[in-house]
């Protein structure tokens, strides 16, 4: 498997457009030991010809242009190496990029029934993906039910992370949807190699530990360093867990015995691990973790 990190930040990217927190301010001023990041996006391939996207980031157009293997073939007027898109949730920073792919290109999108209903039944904006017959082929995925990503040789196993539906989903609609389908982590497998991608997780389920140990690489939710990170920054607001994210400092302890390569992704602009001079970054690295960055390239 060839895995490309096209984006590593949480919603809003880094720096965030309207933020002057210490990280964002120093990055803009050139006084920050670290790099900017676009919103979380992975691309996976087994042959470097056909690629599958995990997420559809709001930064997807720029991310495609930044990675030549995702460019259209010169001999074709309309073409894309993107063979499919796996949506782990209906969050804006995970799904908005679909709208950027509306130029009459046939798409295959894998999503739970709940995510599809939120995006297509409840949001008229996504009607732009129905301008042509069969413009988008939706394929349902269900927690704990493995499926093949077409003929790529990749097998995908979705797992519920017990996360919640986005805040914009009306309460009445939430009651109609299966909560297990709100946020998924995925295991990707090919020829005996395995990668886990859990970019949104409010906890570490004990059942995941054995599965993680069978992986070559584990990408895990790195949104916030501490549970009260935004409260310390803003003076009020929700905790990390209330927003569906286990703090990095707790994940480091919970997954200390995992033998796979461990990488934090979906990192909020306020997180001190973005600063490579920080004590938090050093502690993360000393614990055996890496911090994902745009352009990170892995082959397993």
Q: Six-digit token pair at 118? A: 């939120």
Mean pLDDT of the chain: 96
* Sequence ranges of the domains in the chain: 2-299
Query: What is the second-level CATH architecture of the domain 2-299?
Result: 4-Layer Sandwich (3.60)
Pair of tokens at residue 292 = 């994902």
| pLDDT reading at 174 higher than 90 | yes
Residue 102 has pLDDT above 90, yes or no: no
Q: Would the pLDDT of 235 be above 90?
A: no
Residue 103 confidence (pLDDT):
85
Of 156, 155, 205, the residue nearest 180 (C-alpha): 205
Q: Is 140 left (phi over 0), alpha (psi -120 to 50) or beta?
A: beta
pTM for this one? 0.97
Per-residue pLDDT tens digits for 34-52:
999 999 999 999 999 999 9
Residue-wise pLDDT for 129-169, tens only, equals 887 778 899 999 999 999 999 999 999 999 999 999 999 99
d(CA 178, CA 159): 13
Residue 197's pLDDT band (cuts 50, 70, 90): very high
3-state SS, residue 118: helix
**β-strands 136-140, 107-111 pairing:** parallel
Contacts of 86 (CB under 8 A, 6+ apart): 52, 53, 54, 55, 110, 111, 141, 149, 156, 186
């Amino acid at each position: 498997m060839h895995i490309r990190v096209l984006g590593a930040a949480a919603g809003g990217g880094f720096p965030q457009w309207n933020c002057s927190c210490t990280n964002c301010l120093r990055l803009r001023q050139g006084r920050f030991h670290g790099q900017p990041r676009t919103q979380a996006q992975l691309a996976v391939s087994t042959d470097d010809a056909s690629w599958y996207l995990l997420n559809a980031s709001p930064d997807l157009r720029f991310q495609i242009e930044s990675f030549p293997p995702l460019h259209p073939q010169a001999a074709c007027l309309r073409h894309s190496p993107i063979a499919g898109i796996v949506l782990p949730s209906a969050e804006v920073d995970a799904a908005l990029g679909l709208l950027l792919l509306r130029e009459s290109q046939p798409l295959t999108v894998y999503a739970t029934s709940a995510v599809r209903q939120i995006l297509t039944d409840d949001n008229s904006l996504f009607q732009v993906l129905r301008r042509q017959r069969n413009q988008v082929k939706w394929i349902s995925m269900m927690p704990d039910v493995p499926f093949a990503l077409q003929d790529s040789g990749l097998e995908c196993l979705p797992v519920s992370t017990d996360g919640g539906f986005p805040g914009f989903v009306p309460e009445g609609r939430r009651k109609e949807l299966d909560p297990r389908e709100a946020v998924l982590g995925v295991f990707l497998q090919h020829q005996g190699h395995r990668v886990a991608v859990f970019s949104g997780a409010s906890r570490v389920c004990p059942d995941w530990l054995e599965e993680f140990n069978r992986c070559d690489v584990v990408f895990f939710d790195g949104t916030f360093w501490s549970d009260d990170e935004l409260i310390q920054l803003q003076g009020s607001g929700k905790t990390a867990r209330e927003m569906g994210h286990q703090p990095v400092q707790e994940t480091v302890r919970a997954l200390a015995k995992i033998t796979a390569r461990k990488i934090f992704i979906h990192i909020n602009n306020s997180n001190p691990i973005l600063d490579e001079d920080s004590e938090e970054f050093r502690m993360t690295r000393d614990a055996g973790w890496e911090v994902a960055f745009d352009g990170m390239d892995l082959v397993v």
